Structure 1
Amino acid sequence: MTDDWQTRVDEFWARFDDSDAPRMLAAMRVLVDERPPGDAHALAEWGGVHDALGLEEDAVGPYRRALEIGLEPIAAHQVTLQLASTLRNLGRFDEAIELLQNLDAPELGDAPAAFLALALHSVGRADAALQTALTALSVHLPRYGRALAAYAADLTD
């Protein structure tokens, strides 16, 4: 992937306007078409633009294909998180939960836990969702973190 291409992708996202889907799809299509067919990064961006425009069903395929082809770990983690969020939005909660529970991505901070909490809530597992969210939050508290973690653990015991 060239730095110039990524710079232009970053510029696209900086100017992204979800109120003009046709223009956004056309602009991303130009960028995607600059890459070789089957380029994982281009596929991830193509999925991302659909996702950001609320066209989640059209995002799943490109996301999955990008992951199958292979991305460097940080990009793969980001796309996995995006895919899981999209699957949750589509009502495919179990798939989302599985992806998020298996996502080891320290560079994403607590984002996987936040999205896992949403997915767990979506399937009616309110205690597990709250436990996930509170456990993630507890490590950031200057005081009472240990107490909060213990209370969170009690939710599903």
Structure 2
Amino acid sequence: MDDWQERVDAVWAAADDLGDDEVIRRIDALAAERADDDPVALFERAGARDSAGLEDAAEPLYRAALARGLTGSLRVQAHIQLASTIRNLGRPLEAIGVLDAVEAEAGELRDAVVAFRALARVDAGDARRAASEALTALAPHLARYRVSLAAYAAELGASA
């Protein structure tokens, strides 16, 4: 990990003590060390605003980070965070589409994709399908009741 990312991670580790405005200030200062179109810097700037509840300011930064070629796990994270942001802005169907587009490449973040899509489905009025998908993702993690939970989840999905 490079020094820049370590400094970004340090800001996030201290975020609860710093407050929203200071996190944004520090992340912006670190982002300014990189090119204006650096996708990772744009992603971090978006996250700082998103974390502060400034979804209107975060959305274009997430979109810019993705358009400028954000890759790997950060690309998946950006999709998840963008979807959460646009759901909070009242566009749950668009959020579902953003998450659907990245699910195949989500890897270890697949359960997070499913969880945030469930939130968007609830907002879109499809709570039964949301519960079905969330419980289907949860079932493999259970030491007991895995089979019965998976069956109930399938039953919910069939009636959604």
Fold similarity call, TM over 0.5: yes
**AA partner of residue 138 (structure 1):** A
| Counterparts of 2:83 and 2:156, CA distance in 1 | 24
5+ unaligned residues in a row in structure 2: which ranges?
Answer: none
> Which residue number corresponds to residue 129 of structure 2?
128
Match for residue 149 of structure 2? 148
2:118 aligned partner, one-letter code: A
Q: Distance in 2 between matches of 1:18 and 1:108?
A: 27
Aligned to 2:39: 40
CA RMSD of aligned residues (A): 1.6
Stretches of structure 1 lacking an aligned partner (at least 5 in a row): none
TM-score under structure 2 normalisation? 0.90
* Greater mean alpha carbon deviation, residues 19-28 or residues 76-85: 19-28
The 2-side partners of 1:116 and 1:154 are apart by 19
- C-alpha distance in structure 2 between counterparts of 1:14 and 1:143, whole Å: 34
Contact map agreement 1:18 1:24 (CA 8 A) in 2:
no
Q: Which residue of structure 2 lines up, in the alignment, with residue 28 of structure 1? A: 27
Mapped contact 2:20–2:51 kept (Cα < 8 A): no
Deviation by residue 1:112-136 (Cα, 9 ceiling, x = unmatched): 1111111111111110011011101
Corresponding residue pairs, total: 156
CA apart distance, 1:109: 4.6
Q: Which whole-Å CA distance do the structure 1 matches of 2:111 and 2:157 have between them?
A: 20
Percent of aligned positions with the same letter in both sequences?
47
Offset of 1:37 from its aligned partner? 1.5
The equivalent residue for 2:88 is 89
